[in-house]
Amino acid sequence: MRRCCLLLVCLLLLTGCGRADTQDVSSFAPAEGDRLVIFTSHKETIYEPILKEFEQRTGIWVELETGGTVTLLERIAAGESGADLMFGGGADSLSAYSACFAPYVSEYAGDVAPEYDLGGGIWTPFSALPVVLIYNTKLVRQNPPGRWADLLDAGWRGRIAFADPTVSGSSCTALGTLLQAVGGNTDNTLAAFFRNLDGRIIADSGGVVPAVADGSCYVGVTLEENARKAIADGLDVAIVYPAEGTSVLPDGAAIVRGCAHEENARKFIDFLLSPDVQQLLGTELSRRSVRADTASDALPELTVLPYDLRRADERRQELFDAWQALCGEVEA
């Protein structure tokens, strides 16, 4: 019986002794010092050329994970994410998670325009994203909107493409900017604007440009980047920089506290602020540079409304409550 068992074991071993092993490629893998793990919420069109150029210039291998800003930040906050650097996310988001990041002052920090330098050394601004108005060039031939106050005009009633501010960060910023620009009684202005929307609220910020371009709305509120891409794609959309000025929130990048490849992460931050990348933002990526010395001829000068991150954070909740109240009235 025992012999039988032995035989069976031999058979199992024979069948088990596996397939020929594959080539050992460990010699092709980079050393630990040549790696960088980046979490990004940017679109591929933004991060791809930057990452490739960074890799080619430095020889550092970038491992990338993409996802939504909040999802990635939550993972970083939970720890053990393996990330070295968060690339992307608005100023407010990065500030909210500042506890997760290691402070770093780039060698180019002095070149950043002061109005964008909101990170206080915790995070570094990457690009500026002004909120702008857009209109359909075929449907609006005369008297296009020129100011934030025009959005309260009854002529646009029900024809304004505006994303739900409780969902879209940029829409929330836009609402705050509107209230700030119009001035006067905030509650009245908000109510007037809400009335003018006539219950038409776009589900998320990506739907604003298509709504204006396909003619279902005449005017819209969106980021300059989206509008410029739509124009580049040949859609019937024109940009209006409101006369009162607009808020320009930067997005940025931050080094994760206690990360494995901090030196490389710093190189990447320096690279992001370098004139080469900042120049590319304006020429290729439809964005605005945060450097004071990199002006793009194609982009008009902006009148920037000052934006207080800390106050905005406090005011956001009030704004949300007021907005919810207005929505509730309509439903009732």
Residues in contact with another protein by the rule CB under 8 A:
1, 7, 11, 14-15, 17, 19-26, 28-30, 35, 49, 52-53, 55-57, 59-63, 275-276, 279-280, 283
Characterize 193-212 residue by residue with b for buried, 16 or more Cβ atoms within 10 angstroms of its Cβ, and e for exposed.
bbebbeeebbeebebbbbbb
- 44 vs 214 by CB, closer to another protein: 44
What CA–CA distance (Å, rounded) separates 107 from 130? Answer: 25
Cα 5 to chain centroid distance, Å, stands at 65
- 59 vs 234 by CB, closer to another protein: 59
Got the DSSP string for 132-192?
Answer: EEEEETTT--SS---SGGGGG-GGGTT-EE-B-TTT-HHHHHHHHHHHHHH-S-HHHHHHH
Whether the CB-CB separation of 172 and 317 falls below 8 Å is answered with no
Rounded to a whole number of angstroms, the minimum distance from the CB of residue 290 to another protein is: 17
Rounded to a whole number of angstroms, the minimum distance from the CB of residue 227 to another protein is: 24
Largest CA distance in the chain: 99
- 30 vs 215 by CB, closer to another protein: 30
Rounded to a whole number of angstroms, the minimum distance from the CB of residue 280 to another protein is: 6
Rounded to a whole number of angstroms, the minimum distance from the CB of residue 20 to another protein is: 4
- 12 vs 77 by CB, closer to another protein: 12
Q: Provide the 8-state DSSP code for 305.
A: P
What does the block give as tokens for 44? 């591929």
- 6 vs 203 by CB, closer to another protein: 6
Rounded to a whole number of angstroms, the minimum distance from the CB of residue 74 to another protein is: 22
What CA–CA distance (Å, rounded) separates 152 from 219? Answer: 12
What does the block give as tokens for 260? 């494995």
- 19 vs 141 by CB, closer to another protein: 19
Rounded to a whole number of angstroms, the minimum distance from the CB of residue 178 to another protein is: 37
Q: Using alpha carbons only, give the angle 129, 135, 136 rounded to the nearest 5 degrees.
A: 130
